[in-house]
A and B are shown apart, each in its own frame.
Chain A
């Protein structure tokens, strides 16, 4: 039932079969799945999709797997929250939060990409899943891999915070703490991926893994009543998510599920790690790597692999990009929590703060429909807020003390 024709180099166009490979052997460009859209067009309809279970596999024809979904059967189809309080606060008419703080099972959008990656890994016959990560990806591979019955090797920098280690370790993967920084871990993993026949989700399975991100875009379009929004704001680390959200709208249009897909795509980054936004602002497609320094650790990729493609998607769509300071990021997290009751991780703070700026600067129109992609849960990055919150009201266990405090509140 697969509609995947093969893999194709995004740079030089050389074609490859459906294999666990990720880089063009000629020009070293990244490989991407290509589909038979005529076939998909015949196979899908709004009704057919609408009748399926509420998880990301309802868009299976657009995902690079051959057989039945095997992993992440409850992942995806997160709420699209109409953010009336936040839109009033920001002075825009229609604003929605795509709320991936509640993706099953580990509360970030990585559960989507890992669901697709591990389903594909099982199809390829791998018995071991692996990744290099400092956070969300490690949690997701650990959890999805446990359910899928895969051996798991999760590589982290040895200096990682205890809370992040626990959230992986509870699933009992082989957690490998490497004496080095994240770049060292990544480099080691690339070497291991070349020697051991393991499914490294973000290395040799990457062309399949990355496609899982499209499901955010599919869901937004369906949840809006089969229409694409005017604007979408997407946080950027490698830039892959942004390109895939855009691709999702285009694919839906291609197969006739959307009449129009003229969404403007906006990139959100932290000022302390802004290579993609810098390229957008300077209007140059050369992505200059930076050394990240930001509290938004899940976005701290200084040399983004899909940066060029993210730049191009933003430009082609008529969008723009902004980067915000750590203070604005914290304020963004608090604003979203205060207005919409959603606790996002630091990346969510980046997205909200960037949206605020883009609205103030007029890049996002006040009469338009805008969606903010909130990609992970704030419970995971609580340390970022330490010392930046209001204090509890301490009282004695009696009525007098309580009412004294109430008076002070008035």
Chain B
């Protein structure tokens, strides 16, 4: 069992159209960098210099990582991570 990562529509071009991909447990930012090794370009769309971009919201199991430990949030097997552009007015924008 891995981490389930939900990809928003604008980034699905990078994941060959996949809406959900598998991620590696560990720190959230490392999970993003690991995804980038398989889906090149993804990390720079979502983060800059190790920080999640201001207008990208990331949720771990429905909780905004700003309420958790931000980029350092530990993600475990079985967790669900959602990447959601912020100004689209809500989490469901895809």
Interface set of A (CB-CB < 8 Å, partner B): 11, 22-30, 132, 183, 186-191, 194, 202-203, 206, 286, 288-289, 303, 305, 308
CB distance from B28 to the nearest CB of A (A): 15
| Beta-carbon contact of B45 and A305 below 8 Å | no
| Beta-carbon contact of A26 and B45 below 8 Å | yes
A308: chain B residues at CB < 8 Å are 54
B10: chain A residues at CB < 8 Å are 25, 28
| Beta-carbon contact of A11 and B54 below 8 Å | yes
| Beta-carbon contact of A23 and B91 below 8 Å | no
| Beta-carbon contact of A203 and B89 below 8 Å | yes
- Interfacial residues of chain B within 27-72, with CB under 8 A of chain A in the complex: 45, 48, 53-56, 64, 66-67
Selected from A22, A24, A29, A187, the residue in CB contact (under 8 A) with B90 is A187
**Can you list the 3 inter-chain pairs with the closest CB atoms, starting with the nearest?**
A187-B90, A187-B92, A28-B85
CB distance from B76 to the nearest CB of A (A): 23
Q: How many Å lie between the Cα of A186 and that of B88 in the bound state? A: 9
Given contacts A11-B55, A28-B56, contact A305 B92 (CB under 8 A): no
Count of A-B contacts judged by CB separation below 8 Å: 66
- Chain B 77-94, CB-CB to A under 8 Å as 1, else 0, gives 000000001111111111
CB distance from B6 to the nearest CB of A (A): 14
A-B contact list, 29 entries, CB within 8 Å: A11-B53, A23-B85, A23-B87, A23-B88, A26-B45, A27-B45, A27-B53, A27-B56, A28-B10, A28-B45, A28-B55, A28-B87, A29-B53, A29-B55, A29-B87, A30-B87, A187-B91, A187-B92, A188-B92, A189-B90, A190-B92, A191-B94, A202-B89, A203-B89, A286-B66, A288-B66, A288-B67, A289-B66, A303-B86
Given contacts A25-B10, A288-B66, A289-B64, contact A190 B88 (CB under 8 A): yes
Q: How many residues from B make CB contacts under 8 Å with A?
A: 20
Beyond A23-B88, A186-B90, A187-B93, 4 additional pairs, beta carbon < 8 A: A11-B54, A27-B48, A187-B89, A289-B67
Given contacts A23-B85, A189-B89, A305-B87, contact A28 B53 (CB under 8 A): yes
Q: How many Å lie between the Cα of A308 and that of B56 in the bound state? A: 13
Q: How many Å lie between the Cα of A191 and that of B89 in the bound state? A: 10
B88: chain A residues at CB < 8 Å are 23, 190, 203
